[in-house]
Structure 1
Amino acid sequence: MGKNRQICEDSRAFPESNEGSSKGKRLWKKVKYHSLPGYLRDNEFIIGHYRSEWPLKQVLLSIFSIHNETLNVWTHLIGFFLFLSLTIYTAMKVPKVVDLQALQHFPDVLKKPDLHKLHVELFACLPSFPNMPDLHRLREELTNSLPSMDLLPSPSTWHIIEILTRCLPERLFHGNCTDVGVLLSMKEDVANLIAPFMLTPITRWPFFAFLGGAMFCLFSSSTCHLLQCHSERLSYIMLRLDYAGIAALISTSFYPTVYYSFMCNPFFCNLYLGFITLLGIGTMLVSLLPVFEKPEYRKFRASLFFGMGFSGIAPILHKLILFWNRPEALHTTGYEVLMGLFYGIGTLIYATRVPERWMPGKFDIAGHSHQLFHLFVVAGAYTHYHAGLLYLRWRDQEGC
């Protein structure tokens, strides 16, 4: 009796201690859907394994534990590191890779020339080239025959080609010096020699804008799924960041398509780029509304993002009309159609909550709709990366 009285008195004297102990006991307890606060209730077909209002430290550590958001976090976190690696690879390796592929197209139609004599004859005409402030460096590049970028027979290089045709031996050329066949009929050795004169690299910013949008989307999504269970305020912030990432990915996905398709038509290029950018900003602003995140607006969210992607059909059809006879246009369109299928199927799965709606509780840990949606997003973005490489190769080799 006296002992019980003492315990009660200790409890009244140290209420914080008891509260902290209770909080500690429920810290790692995963709750059921019906026990969640309203802001965490999104999918009633996922029954258990929820984290609810955990301390921030434990929320961060939960990235290594098993719950119904584990695969949501890791599918996009791995995707983020994948695109980070692709961005670094593209910045460092892609120009050289494209360069080597371009040079392989030169047919071996001539016997090996006397390269030493060719060097002497070529150096003799170098002073006639305009804007050559560093002649020593250029001669060194020619001597080593090391092209650093793609051959680009654009209008800006015709003057250089004409000078070369006057200076180099006639046996190295076939046809008129203003014909593209002048370049295509040279032996690879000659192509290597003149390649440094043809440096007109196509701007890469639309392609890197897409890669940046993909990384932002994947990282913000992964962060949202990890942290939103901490508190209602943090959940609100993280969801807005997640929606902004989705809008950024969709918008920037059309930057390479539009820019490289219409770079020679500034009006349409600016029109399409401006439209998709404004649409993305508008979607971000709509997503700031509190009502946007409610479960009953799931289909509206899916429809809004699907509509953004669907708007990209116009520039793609326009591209096909302009370049209907070009294989590059058809190949890039094939990748873009595949990308659209990945995004569309993923969005449909997300909106219908398949397969967990068929067997509630069976897909709590793995296999539910949001995880499948994440996989389709990564697949779609990776497909579009390959389309971007085709655009770069196409425009690097031809220009406008």
Structure 2
Amino acid sequence: MATCKVSGQESGLPSSTRAEAEDLELTELGPLLEVGRERKGQTSTCGNENQAAKVTQEEEEEEVRVLTLPLQAHHAMEKMEEFVYKVWEGRWRVIPYDVLPDWLKDNDYLLHGHRPPMPSFRACFRSIFRIHTETGNIWTHLLGFVLFLFLGVLTMLRPNMYFMAPLQEKVVFGMFFLGAVLCLSFSWLFHTVYCHSEKVSRTFSKLDYSGIALLIMGSFVPWLYYSFYCSPQPRLIYLSIVCVLGISAIVVAQWDRFATPKHRPTRAGNFTSHHLQQ
């Protein structure tokens, strides 16, 4: 009965009183609810951070893969190039004129037997022992270089009793042998390595034509010296003309346009006129 009364009384409370009681309960439970919300927020934040860390780690791994792939490809290409170089140096075949690159097409009258572009100087120098269009040029100039070098040293070492004016005549013959040695050395080097690359071919082509001019100049020194042995003034004039023409030919030979196959007749005409004028 008491219980019923109490419950009746509680149920009989006014609505305003019940609302106050509920607000009181919510107020008391507020900190607990906030703590629960914070824990949920922390849990969700930790989950988001872990997820973000995983995403960041995956992105870093992906970036590492992206950066590693080009390096691996680069190393693979280097190994492939080394392999190709070794094979190329060991085994190669002569090719026809039509297959040559434009910078190697210097003589269109030689249709077969050309060397392909070589990947290294070692391969170029090893090619002198093979048969191709430059074999004759290489060996004739190489043997001539050795011969004139030997004769030049032998002449310079001869006793002074074999000369009427030892110092002057040794200088005169030294100029001749120097021009011959430089011309033949530049020439055999050019014919050996000109198939290496376009830049190397152009550089040694300039040296080759410069050597030809030096040989022409040096070959005229003994002739003019003994022809005008008793006439120093005309000898000096002719020597000056020879030097001016030779230096002009060397300067012209340094032009890149002058070294192209298109100007082969121009080069031949320049050196022929230089020789005839002298």
Instruction: Name the TM-score, length of structure 2 as normaliser.
Output: 0.66
Conserved in 2, the CA contact under 8 Å of 1:248 and 1:280? yes
Aligned to 1:210, the other structure's residue is in SS state helix
1:58 aligned residue: 123
Tell which structure's C-alpha radius of gyration is larger.
2
Aligned to 1:292, the other structure's residue is in SS state helix
1:279 aligned residue: 245
Superposition pairs for residues 201-240 of structure 1, below 5 Å?
A: 201=166, 203-204=168-169, 205-240=171-206
Aligned to 1:49, the other structure's residue is in SS state coil
Conserved in 2, the CA contact under 8 Å of 1:11 and 1:18? no
Superposition pairs for residues 346-385 of structure 1, below 5 Å?
A: none
Deviations 1:313-343 (CA, angstroms, capped at 9, x unpaired): xxxxxxxxxxxxxxxxxxxxxxxxxxxxxxx
1:250 aligned residue: 216
Cα separation, partners in 2 of 1:29 and 1:266, compared to 1, 3 Å: same
Deviations 1:37-64 (CA, angstroms, capped at 9, x unpaired): 2111111121222223312211121122
Query: Take 1:13 and 1:257, find their aligned partners in 2: how far apart are those partners?
Result: 61
1:79 aligned residue: 144
1:70 aligned residue: 135
Deviations 1:216-241 (CA, angstroms, capped at 9, x unpaired): 11111000000111111111110000
Cα separation, partners in 2 of 1:298 and 1:15, compared to 1, 3 Å: closer
Query: Take 2:100 and 2:248, find their aligned partners in 1: how far apart are those partners?
Result: 32
Conserved in 2, the CA contact under 8 Å of 1:210 and 1:249? yes
Equivalent AA in structure 2 for residue 63 of structure 1: I
The 4+ residue runs of structure 1 with deviation greater than 3 A are 10-27, 92-96
- Percent of matched pairs sharing the same residue: 35
Query: Take 1:20 and 1:280, find their aligned partners in 2: how far apart are those partners?
Result: 44
1:39 aligned residue: 103
Aligned to 1:43, the other structure's residue is in SS state coil
Aligned to 2:145, the other structure's residue is in SS state helix
Aligned to 1:270, the other structure's residue is in SS state helix
Hey, which of these two has a bigger chunk of helix by percent?
A: 2
Aligned to 1:45, the other structure's residue is in SS state coil
Q: Residue 30 of structure 1: CA displacement? A: 2.6
Query: Take 1:254 and 1:94, find their aligned partners in 2: how far apart are those partners?
Result: 24
- Gaps in structure 1 of 5+ consecutive residues: 1-9, 99-148, 151-199, 313-400
**Aligned Cα root-mean-square deviation (Å):** 2.5
- Gaps in structure 2 of 5+ consecutive residues: 1-71
Conserved in 2, the CA contact under 8 Å of 1:33 and 1:44? yes
Q: Residue 16 of structure 1: CA displacement? A: 4.4
Aligned to 1:53, the other structure's residue is in SS state coil
Equivalent AA in structure 2 for residue 38 of structure 1: D
Deviations 1:151-177 (CA, angstroms, capped at 9, x unpaired): xxxxxxxxxxxxxxxxxxxxxxxxxxx
Query: Take 2:216 and 2:129, find their aligned partners in 1: how far apart are those partners?
Result: 30
Aligned to 2:237, the other structure's residue is in SS state helix
Query: Take 2:152 and 2:73, find their aligned partners in 1: how far apart are those partners?
Result: 59
Query: Take 1:250 and 1:13, find their aligned partners in 2: how far apart are those partners?
Result: 51
Superposition pairs for residues 278-357 of structure 1, below 5 Å?
A: 278-312=244-278
Query: Take 1:85 and 1:76, find their aligned partners in 2: how far apart are those partners?
Result: 14
Aligned to 1:203, the other structure's residue is in SS state helix
Q: Residue 202 of structure 1: CA displacement? A: 6.4
Cα separation, partners in 2 of 1:48 and 1:21, compared to 1, 3 Å: farther
Superposition pairs for residues 106-145 of structure 1, below 5 Å?
A: none
Query: Take 1:303 and 1:32, find their aligned partners in 2: how far apart are those partners?
Result: 28
Question: Which of 93, 97, 100 is residue 29 of structure 1 equivalent to?
Answer: 93
Query: Take 1:75 and 1:277, find their aligned partners in 2: how far apart are those partners?
Result: 27
Aligned to 2:245, the other structure's residue is in SS state helix
1:360 aligned residue: none
Cα separation, partners in 2 of 1:245 and 1:64, compared to 1, 3 Å: same
- Aligned pair count reads 203
